[in-house]
Amino acid sequence: MTHSSPQCQIFHQLHQSGCFVIPNPWDVGSARLLAALGFPALATTSSGFAWSRGRADNHVSLEQTLAHLRSIAAAVDVPVNADFEGGFATMPADVAANVARATATGIAGLSIEDSTGDTSNPLFDFTLAVERIQAARRAIDESATGILLTGRSEGFIVGRPDLAETIRRLTAYAAAGADCLYAPGIRTKADIAAVVSAVAPKPLNVLVGSDFTTVADLAAMGVRRISVGGALARVAWAGFLQAAREIAEQGTFSNLARAVPFADINRSFSSE
């Protein structure tokens, strides 16, 4: 029997109709500020978190990630979806074991991707990829948490931009128990519309990492969920690096004038 938390129940409801933006904080501070802006849910970003630890994406340990999920979920009152990368394992049984641990962190959703990290063979074999989603589904069901499972196919961002194969994989992940589907890297209206239609009635998440669309346009295409991945973290790093490079290279400080006033940012956390 499933005993969903209020956050899990809300998260499932958000996926039932309409379109919502689920931005991606990389630490507790950014999570609290995004929640305060009124976003109905948040999603962690493996890249943003890794950079905050001085590591490259996909180079943070399972233990560090679980601790990160606990801290973000405990810091806000809105549902949190976990970027759980590839489940921190290859074989389905190991993915299931790791997902089971993630279900105890307070998250409301979790995604599993099908990229291998091997540039010569960037996607898991189709059958294995499906079995990995099935394993994650079983672990979530056994946890009785009601956590929402997102199945991700990474072809468009790992050098395999094959729409037909992406759709084949996403529809198989849906059949394997994924509640939401996600193909980061799809950008054209035709591709997005094709994937929305293929996975329907299940919801589709679209990644927006640059200025190529709007919430209204994606909503009109039937997209249910919009995330930004590591883009907000990259925007923050852009401001930091621009100011730091000016100081290092020119000995001037003009970029500091663009900073959020101390009182404003401090006030945002004054109740904590």
Q: How many CA atoms lie within 13 A of 198 on its CB side?
A: 21
Furthest-apart CA atoms within the chain: distance in Å: 63
CA distance 148 to 269: 30
> Each residue's pLDDT tens digit in the chain (272 positions)?
456 789 999 999 999 999 999 999 999 999 999 999 999 999 999 999 999 999 999 999 999 999 999 999 999 999 999 999 999 999 999 999 999 999 999 999 999 999 999 999 999 999 999 999 999 999 999 999 999 999 999 999 999 999 999 999 999 999 999 999 999 999 999 999 999 999 999 999 999 999 999 999 999 999 999 999 999 999 999 999 999 999 999 999 999 999 999 999 999 998 65
Set out the domains of the chain in order of their start, with CATH numbers.
6-229 (3.20.20.60), 231-272 (no CATH)
pTM value is 0.96
DSSP letter string, 60-105: S-HHHHHHHHHHHHHH-SS-EEEE-TTTT-SSHHHHHHHHHHHTTT
User: What's the full length of the chain, in residues?
Assistant: 272
Q: Across-strand partners of 205? A: 182, 225
Q: Across-strand partners of 111? A: 83, 150
Provide the pLDDT for residue 2. 55
Burial of 229 (C-beta count, 10 Å sphere; 0-12/13-18/19+): buried
Q: For 122, left (φ over 0), alpha (ψ -120 to 50), or beta? A: alpha
